[in-house]
């Protein structure tokens, strides 16, 4: 892997190192392409790039509190659909009892993030115990069901028309930020064999958004073995060892966990905060001009946001600057914290996301005003 030396153009007062040693009193904004992977320009502003005094229009920063959803059901097809486009569908599922049927997704791979609860998953590949903080990746067409040992709340991320894979780690090597050997796969243990038998089972398959019921006079999870590399896997966020630099705030792309057609998934986990006096201590202001950004807050205090709690989702459409809230930015400048305790799932999508009525019903509509500047314009100052 090689990259020729390039010499970016510079104009006016700038920092020679991105995200560090900013000109006094300035606010850095990164205008980046390809979701932090492409070309970028850094602007140094006299005022916070998010210091708007008013905002009109439907394309705006949005926040949703999934804790307010009342949808319950044993089936993932009961899950409330919140956001989506042609590449990805994002749903929130609450399951309090054992599934009495098998689910099968014919539209794409299913990635399940367990926000709360625990249980056992049975699928074509075998038996897999799971608990809070687990990602469970199910290849398209997998028959599966869960048995609940503690009520489950989960984020469902469907790679519609595509498949999940691991990101290319480049010069970091294949064993950062987690070794693939840490991935668990289902096992055909005695628990799996005990649930097999001649009892009638239904498979409810989703294809093209439509549900279809297929009934068998036996349990279709009757495999006696398998071999191959298209397989269900489990990864817990605690097994992720994030990239860190005490002198440089690494971009979200460094935390990429899974990639799919048209979107990527990153996982933010606890880490030390930068200690170098000149380095930014919070995410830099940025205009992500190719991707919509979604963040699901799992636990902890998200160090760049105010009034956000676990179970909430924020969405920042591409094309406008966003970044830390004013209080969070000041805390970073004051270096009041030495490490983060946040756990969050970020989904960056290339195509614009559509917001469903279910999401709008749990929206915090004042979120756009959480960055609002108290600073008055010169014209406002002249008004008696």
pLDDT digits (tens, 9 = 90+) for 46-90: 988 888 888 888 889 999 999 999 867 789 999 989 999 999 999
Say how far apart CA 37 and CA 318 lie, in whole Å.
15
Tens digits of residue pLDDT in 229-260: 999 999 999 999 988 888 887 877 788 999 99
Q: What's the pLDDT at 219?
A: 97
Tens digits of residue pLDDT in 88-100: 999 999 999 999 9
Q: What's the pLDDT at 74?
A: 85
378 Cβ contact list (under 8 Å, min separation 6) = none
Residue 382's pLDDT band, with cuts at 50, 70 and 90, is very low
Contact 298, 343 (CB under 8 A): yes
Q: Is the pLDDT of residue 381 over 60?
A: no
From the CB of residue 301, how many other CB atoms can be counted at a distance below 10 Å? 15
- Percent of the chain at pLDDT above 90? 59
Tens digits of residue pLDDT in 343-356: 999 999 999 999 99
Q: Is the pLDDT of residue 326 over 80?
A: no
Q: Is the pLDDT of residue 183 over 80?
A: yes
Say how far apart CA 156 and CA 152 lie, in whole Å.
12
Give the mean pLDDT of the chain. 89
- 256-259 contacts: CB < 8 A, separation 24 or more? 256/167, 257/135, 257/167, 257/177, 258/111, 258/135, 258/137, 258/164, 258/165, 258/166, 258/167, 259/164, 259/165, 259/166, 259/167
Contact 195, 177 (CB under 8 A): no
Tens digits of residue pLDDT in 261-320: 999 999 999 998 888 888 887 777 877 778 899 999 999 987 666 678 999 999 999 888
**Tokens for 35?**
């979701």
In the numeric block, the tokens 């059901």 are attached to 73
Of 95, 156, 83, give the one whose Cα is nearest residue 357: 83
Residue 383's pLDDT band, with cuts at 50, 70 and 90, is very low
Say how far apart CA 30 and CA 21 lie, in whole Å.
15
């Amino acid at each position: 892997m090689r990259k020729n030396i390039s010499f970016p153009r510079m104009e006016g007062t700038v920092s020679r190192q991105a995200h560090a040693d900013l000109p006094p009193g300035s606010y850095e904004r990164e205008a980046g392409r390809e979701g932090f992977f492409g070309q970028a320009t850094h602007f140094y502003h006299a005022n916070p790039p998010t210091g708007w005094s008013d905002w009109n229009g439907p394309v705006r920063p949005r926040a949703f509190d999934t804790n307010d959803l009342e949808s319950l059901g044993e089936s993932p097809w009961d899950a409330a659909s919140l956001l989506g486009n042609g590449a990805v569908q994002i749903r929130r599922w609450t399951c309090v009892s054992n599934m009495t049927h098998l689910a099968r997704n014919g539209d794409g791979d299913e990635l399940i993030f367990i926000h709360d609860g625990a249980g056992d998953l049975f699928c074509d590949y075998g038996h897999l115990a799971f608990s809070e903080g687990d990602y469970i990746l199910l290849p398209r067409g997998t028959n599966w069901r869960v048995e609940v040992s503690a009520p489950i709340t989960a984020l469902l991320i469907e790679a519609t028309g595509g498949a999940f894979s691991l990101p290319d780690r480049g010069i970091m090597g294949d064993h950062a930020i987690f070794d693939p050997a840490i991935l668990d796969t289902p096992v055909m243990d005695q628990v799996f064999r005990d649930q097999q038998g001649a009892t009638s089972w239904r498979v409810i398959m989703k294809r093209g958004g439509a549900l279809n019921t297929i009934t068998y006079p036996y349990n279709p999870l009757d495999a006696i073995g398998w071999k191959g590399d298209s397989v269900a896997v489990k990864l817990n966020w605690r097994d992720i060892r994030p990239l860190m630099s005490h002198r440089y705030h690494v971009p979200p792309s460094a935390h990429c966990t899974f990639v799919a057609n048209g979107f990527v998934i990153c996982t933010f986990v606890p880490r030390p905060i930068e200690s170098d006096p000149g380095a930014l201590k919070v995410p830099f202001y940025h205009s992500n001009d190719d991707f919509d950004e979604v963040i699901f807050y799992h636990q902890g205090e998200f160090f760049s946001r105010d009034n956000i709690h676990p179970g909430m989702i924020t969405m920042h459409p591409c094309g406008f600057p966003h970044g830390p809230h004013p209080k969070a930015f000041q805390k970073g400048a004051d270096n009041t914290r030495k490490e983060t305790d946040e756990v969050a799932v970020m989904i960056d999508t290339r195509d614009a996301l559509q917001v469903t009525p279910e999401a709008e019903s749990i929206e915090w509509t004042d979120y756009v005003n959480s960055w609002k500047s108290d600073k008055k314009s010169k014209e406002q100052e002249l008004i008696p």
